[in-house]
Structure 1
């Protein structure tokens, strides 16, 4: 694994103190894992059912978790939103739903530039630096990785409290910060000699900005016993999609790999079909999931990043149309949503409604659906799934 992590790695912070990084990694290597191999294997089995067309994957939660926002009320609201959507999807779609939260570790964020409009180091998530616009606060601080583990453990306490009531939610986040992820690798049990499990989450995904085939993130994901995800955008070629599947699912295990398409409403109907067809022809039983958020971000007149719910719904309709045409299973839904009553996404037909956005725009990164909007999306997807399954049976 040391050799893998030495490969070129995109989106990593410029730590100013190498000794402080080593000290933080040492602490994390001895820290208790946040999840267990048994739990992870259970999720892998559930995702196998999704890959066979017998279930649906719902993945949802904060764009970027924050330390300050890691309160019992906020985490519980996020989980309630997730479970509410799952209930709607199960009733409307007629399939069991595998619930995976963006929770307990979504603290690192990719950015498009190293500095912001003020010339300060860009905010890379609470695991790296502070959102506060101050040169010292924006300096990458490796001690924050240890603090992130502590906060993730607190969030997982709420997840486990749900499990004790019979409501099973698995955890996930983007595998972005490799110093953190590498330090939380743990060996499997007696039946998994040589297997490496992430102790940071049940499910990790590789993002659009870090999916370089020769890079450290893909190399890292190859080594994991966990089920893994990969974001694919409109620039992904069929040949690349097949190579990702070959690298991340070499044994063609159902549910091992989830390919999360993030095409945008204007590209999903033409960019997605070649990828699905190529991966299917190569014999990889992947889960196909749709992230209808990241390809549909726009800007309001005053500079707020937002998303139109109708754009989100249109990409989802396109996703289902593609799978209906190809006879494949539209297996998942990946959202940024919160149970809080935020005003970050717009219900209207344009992004010009600044007055609606400013009422409660809390996200430090990307806009999230509020609970009402998330319910609306889940209801629409449940209907699409019902129609898709009816067409398949007919």
Structure 2
């Protein structure tokens, strides 16, 4: 790669990593650098790469042969040992973006928006050489929010510990990530930085990410939010996930947050918490698609198109007498998504309702729920009480969450599949990861 080439690290986030044969190895999640004394530019040690099963490994820059056209090319040899950040190392995306620094010449305070890395002449070594900053207002010639690209030596303050560091630019870098992938990024940040990123996410996005994190991370993040905001985030979570999280909190904290939530949202969560976790009632969500029998296929498809619905919940609609929200009036049956596609838009859902499948009782144990879904090839099943009212629906993802080991999210974030870990093994990299 030519020495004049320069890459801004925000453009590396999520970029695919390929071996020389064109096979995809993983995706870039961060850049690891080592700050140096004085104004010397930091040395770029390598990349944090997410490989199979969301495992993150270290790829030394000495094994990067090209960074171009939106992709990273490696020598094809990667140590699959899990990446562990060392005290002397800095995660560029995770820790440098949004930092407050000062311009050496003027003493102005500036916010780091991005940094650029470049490869040194005739060597495989890389370093950070440029910093993209936004400076404040200093006089008549500069307006507030002016953006500048300066040499690394032109700014100071990177080595100082910063409290209350923002995360807007880091969040923007990860904007296109799926919640599960962003959860992996948060899990590997320091507790300080994790709290700052959580504070910068909007309520809905943070709720989605919390649902994908291990229990310890969930409790830690929720505990660092102001109580009013914690209640807002819990309202954005799926009721069953919110109930699971709240059940892990001390009784006083749980009640305080439930009191701060909207009464109808809190009522759903309290209802779910009244069931044993290993039963259909404890597994279900209280927000399936419920329609009256006089609703049309067009009405049903409009509800199914809601992008906030999970694929499992969008796979079928449930037909009930009013009211239209759980717990509803009498459960009549369900209509599969494929049937909705086969009938004219004006067809009433009551005329195409499948009434043959018996719903689950709320006390149905987990093994019986699993057998039900497997027997009828279902991705979701209705839960109905003894009086015939629909209480909610159990989805296959909720069942899997409880069939897997309790620490599966932690394991998923820390370990890769066995076959992948045995592949590409090599002696310790020069960096030691």
TM class by shorter chain equals under 0.3
TM-score by length of 2: 0.24
TM-score under structure 1 length normalisation: 0.26
Highest relative contact order (Cα 8 Å, sep 6+), 1 or 2?
A: 1
Is the strand fraction higher in 1 or 2?
A: 2
Structure possessing the higher radius of gyration over alpha carbons: 2
Bigger proportion of residues as helix:
1
